[in-house]
Chains A and B, each alone.
Chain A
């Protein structure tokens, strides 16, 4: 019910703002560029993740992973995600070269067969490990992947926010648009609403427990994704963030994928 009401309110808000002014488009882009600028230069990091999946009957299952990321100049990040739980997929690893505009390149290592499988680049809207996160939700968020529009100023939990709409450029995205709440103080995403291709509210992602690393880079301890259409949710918890641990391109190759344990 709450979701429906929210959707109704948002629809009304959008219709009333139907006349997209040039200044709103410029302001939306400026906010996105500023948020990106503030998160540039971390070079590399690694962290551990836990996903708690819950269905509408309250049944839970967990996934545990390790993640490594490397910033690439003038392109999207390179990331590697290594699975630890559930146990049947332990040692499975996903290597992604994300790109600003082109489709990402992805390879999956299957340890039982010692085989590296290429993943079709169209695959981005599908669920990641059965969770409510799609591949594209977890991919590196490059400015060029969306077009932007400033929607309004808002206040969440007493904090002043920008609300911007961003529309995926890639026609293979599972979304028509996303509404992003970005706090004015630090330009961090606080909440994202995902609208499906039919423009119905599909999911809401809430970022909680932001912490600052290297006196600059903000990372949320928790990302809570709720699917309004299925009643399922996923709580993604991050821990053990380490920045600038000396990762290089050599840590993001098919050979390094095969060395993963």
Chain B
């Protein structure tokens, strides 16, 4: 709730700051259905779920396009999961940009990284697990960001005054861990709790075929440790615990002929023992297959974490192999299918994503996820019965 008030304050300030200029409104509404073929592990979970969400984006630009404001509220109503039924301010950011200088203030999103499956080095924003367990959805992060673009590269400086906790599905939600993670039981190692002033710096440069980024983050780690606890009714839950970390990371991407080479690596201290983790691989694309206009990409990535079985992520000793089929048709049809296998404990995760446009204003997405041969000690053990197919229909305005 504290955060809710702060979010509203940011929105009010940024809206008031906008002067007369070009403005645009846009938005989308999405209807989502999920079907879980297997019976749930917890009797309060359901076999199917409907959900509707929408967002509106207001954008305004002035001062000869040097300044702009974006405000993007979001809401979701979910059939079963009370935690998913919520409103959120996704973005509320003022931007000043001129000649090699960019200043951003407000709630914003920043993505670091290059790999397909595991976004190892991405740390500025909290992951929105409620929206989608794939880790690609993020919560807006309050920040002041200053970027300098020079011949020797781009330097981004971040100051992040408050931290947003990760939110998790309710008891009725699915897919979810077993026992569930209770965000109300969250605790902080640092006395300042969510108000530890987090800072980060990133240098990046384009070196022709290669893009290189080196970053350091100091602040509350976005990924919580999970400790056993009891909820108000005395049932076992997992309680998130947030600690202050140092994280140094590198990301590298190269485009050479048909190859895209990708590498992310980090060293993190503060969260248990200091450790190193890395993920990387390639995407090799065959252009102009079938009728001559389709592209078929073959993807291969390795995920490694020095902590091994003690890692807080499932991607500790894993290998990903997949294909991406880009049809290049009028409807923008795409399919991504792959399997992530833990080469140490044998756990497999299969993922299929397909989408196409319908007409000018609609898009349909299908996502299917299966977990198989799940090992008792793997972090995804609780998801073993939560295989699901999701169908989403989005209308854009």
Task: Identify the A interface with B (CB < 8 A).
Answer: 53, 55, 61-62, 85-90, 103, 105-106, 113-116, 118-123, 125-127, 129-130, 172, 174, 248, 250, 253-256, 259, 261
Contact = CB atoms under 8 A, between A and B. Distances in A.
A61 B328 contact: no
Interface stretch (B80-88, B174-182, B203-211, B312-320): B203-211
Given A88-B396, A253-B154, A261-B61, A118 B253 contact: yes
Given A105-B206, A120-B285, 14 more contacts: A55-B330, A61-B360, A86-B396, A87-B397, A105-B209, A114-B109, A115-B113, A118-B253, A120-B257, A121-B256, A129-B332, A130-B330, A250-B100, A261-B70
A93 to B, nearest CB: 14
Contacts of B231: none
B110 interface: yes
Contacts of A90: 26, 396
B390 interface: no
B136 interface: yes
Interface string B321-344: 000000011111000000000000
B99 interface: yes
A124 to B, nearest CB: 8
Given A61-B360, A123-B287, A261-B24, A248 B99 contact: yes
B306 to A, nearest CB: 27
B258 A120 contact: yes
A129 B102 CA distance: 30
Contact of A126 (B328, B331, B357, B394): B328
A105 B113 CA distance: 18
A250 to B, nearest CB: 5
B131 to A, nearest CB: 11
**Interface of chain B, main secondary structure:** strand
B149 A114 contact: no
A203 to B, nearest CB: 12
Nearest to B329: A130
A261 B68 contact: yes
Interface of B: 24, 26, 59, 61, 68, 70, 95, 97, 99-100, 102, 109-111, 113-114, 136, 138, 147, 149, 154, 204, 206, 208-209, 211, 253, 255-260, 283, 285, 287-288, 293, 295, 328-332, 357, 359-363, 394, 396-397
Given A121-B255, A261-B24, A126 B287 contact: yes
Nearest to A256: B97
Contacts of B209: 105, 121
Query: Top 10 nearest A-B pairs by Cβ distance?
Result: A87-B396, A130-B330, A88-B363, A122-B258, A114-B109, A114-B111, A127-B328, A86-B360, A115-B111, A122-B257
A259 B253 CA distance: 22
B136 A113 contact: yes
Contact of A119 (B100, B208, B255, B288): B255
B84 to A, nearest CB: 19
B285 A123 contact: yes
Contact of B288 (A55, A85, A125, A250): A125
B293 A126 contact: yes
Contacts of A113: 111, 136
Nearest to B27: A87
Contacts of A115: 111, 113
Which of B253, B259, B293 has its CB near the most chain A CB atoms (within 10 A)?
B293
Given A105-B206, A250-B100, A250-B149, A126 B288 contact: yes
Nearest to B288: A125
B259 A255 contact: no
Contacts of A123: 285, 287, 295
Contact of A118 (B59, B97, B260, B360): B260
B394 A118 contact: no
Contacts of B357: 86, 88
Nearest to B330: A130
A216 to B, nearest CB: 26
A261 B59 contact: yes
A255 B102 contact: yes
A120 B259 contact: yes
B107 to A, nearest CB: 12
A129 B326 CA distance: 11
A55 to B, nearest CB: 7
Contacts of A62: 360
A55 B260 CA distance: 32
Contacts of B61: 261
Nearest to A261: B59
14 contacts: A86-B360, A86-B396, A88-B394, A88-B396, A114-B111, A115-B111, A121-B209, A123-B295, A126-B328, A127-B293, A130-B329, A255-B102, A259-B68, A259-B97
B111 A255 contact: no
A172 B256 CA distance: 12
B392 to A, nearest CB: 12
Contacts of B258: 120, 122
Contacts of A125: 287-288
Which of A87, A106, A119, A250 has its CB near the most chain B CB atoms (within 10 A)?
A87
A236 B144 CA distance: 41
